[in-house]
Amino acid sequence: MSRVAGKVVLVTGAGSGIGRATAKLLAAEGATVVVTDINKPGGLETVQQIGEANSGGGARFEEHDTAREADWKRIIDDLMAREGKLDGLVNNAGIAGPFPSTFETETVEQWQRMLSINVQGVFLGCKHGVPAMKQSGGGSIVNTSSLAAFLGTPALSAYGASKGAVRQFTKTVAMDCARKGYRIRCNSVHPGIIMTPMGQGILPNDKARDRALKSIPIGEFGAPEDIAYGILYLISDESRFVTGTELVIDGGMNAI
């Protein structure tokens, strides 16, 4: 149980769903995890669960709005002062609502809010995480995109656009860091339909649930841990030769 032993990893949006499962798994595999979220009770609950499991290097919480540059500066400076290095960064925080929301009905305010969290948040994480990783001798960044990055998403217009941007931006960061010899990798993960508060929010009733289930070749919805295991691989040194890639974890939906 030591696939990331000794590593310091920051996970955003770790107060719920995929972020919480990832923080718990990384800690169980030996990492010290800095859990961040805009939702303080959720983040503290994640830290408590890691403490109860008596996992690895343990965890602590920071209140963090990933769309705000000042928050990133404070958290990364503090992390370098306290933990002394940053080996891994999981840019996982995101929003999906309102649902449904088509490009004809969406307001400019909704569009901008979506992009400020789902895209600007990832940009700021890379912008402020990379210098810290350079000081640490290298690192691995994982950006949570979505299956939506590959498909038209008529009922989630701004969301799909935001995840397409994350998919592309990840490759830019990967190429730039590789060419500059930073020893920093950057990859995206692409969850299908995962049973988290967000996943449940886009399946408002039994009819929507049944229809969605029929579209998944494996025949079941994903669990947050299914994504966490992919992120664990990308943060660990097992993926040392992997950068700029897309890890799709979707029960086969993207293969249809």
Ligand X SMILES: NC(=O)c1ccc[n+]([C@@H]2O[C@H](COP(=O)([O-])OP(=O)(O)OC[C@H]3O[C@@H](n4cnc5c(N)ncnc54)[C@H](O)[C@@H]3O)[C@@H](O)[C@H]2O)c1
Active site residues: 159
110 or 183: CB nearest ligand X: 110
Q: How far is the CB of 4 from ligand X (least distance, A)?
A: 20
Among the listed residues 4, 15, 182, 247, the single contact to ligand X using CB under 6 A: 15
3 state SS of 37: strand
Residue 19 or 182 with smaller CB distance to ligand X: 19
> Which residue in the set 101, 144, 157, 239 belongs to the binding site for ligand X (CB under 6 A)?
144
Instruction: Give me the half-sphere count of Cα atoms (radius 13 Å) on the Cβ side of residue 28.
Output: 14
- For residue 249, what is the enclosing H or E element? strand 246-249
Residue of 10, 18, 173, 232 that binds ligand X (CB under 6 A): 18
Q: Does 153 bind ligand X (CB under 6 A)?
A: no
Min separation Cβ 5 and ligand X, Å: 25
4 interacts with ligand X by CB under 6 A? no
Binding status of residue 65 toward ligand X by CB under 6 A: yes
What six digits make up the tokens of 49? 């669960």
| Among 129, 225, 228, 227, CA closest to 185 | 129
Task: Find, among 121, 160, 159, 156, the residue nearest to 141 by Cα.
Answer: 121
Q: Which is nearer to ligand X, 6 or 201 (CB)?
A: 201
Closest C-alpha among 214, 121, 204 to residue 162: 121
Q: Interface with ligand X includes 187 (CB under 6 A)?
A: no
Q: Identify the burial level of 1 via C-beta atoms within 10 angstroms of its C-beta, where 0-12 means exposed, 13-18 middle and 19 or more buried.
A: exposed
Please report how close the Cβ of residue 168 comes to ligand X at its closest, in angstroms: 16
**Measuring CA to CA, which residue among 232, 207, 222 is closest to residue 254?**
222
Phi, psi of 228 (to 5 degrees): -60, -40
Q: Quick check: 239 binds ligand X (CB under 6 A)? A: no
Q: Which is nearer to ligand X, 92 or 239 (CB)?
A: 92
236: exposed, middle or buried (C-beta count within 10 Å: 0-12, 13-18, 19+)?
buried
The structure tokens listed for 87 are: 């080996």
Q: Return the bridge partners of 63, or none.
A: 37
Binding residue count for ligand X, defined by CB under 6 A: 31
Binding mask 84-103 for ligand X (x = CB under 6 A): --------xxxxx-------
- The binding track of 104-133 with respect to ligand X, each residue x by CB under 6 A or -, is -------------x---x------------
Q: Is 38 in the site for ligand X (CB under 6 A)?
A: yes
Closest CA to 119 of 169, 81, 77: 169
In the complex, least distance from residue 12 CB atom to ligand X, rounded to whole angstroms: 6
| Binding interface with ligand X (CB under 6 A) | 12-13, 15-19, 37-39, 42, 64-67, 92-96, 117, 121, 144, 146, 191, 193-194, 196-199
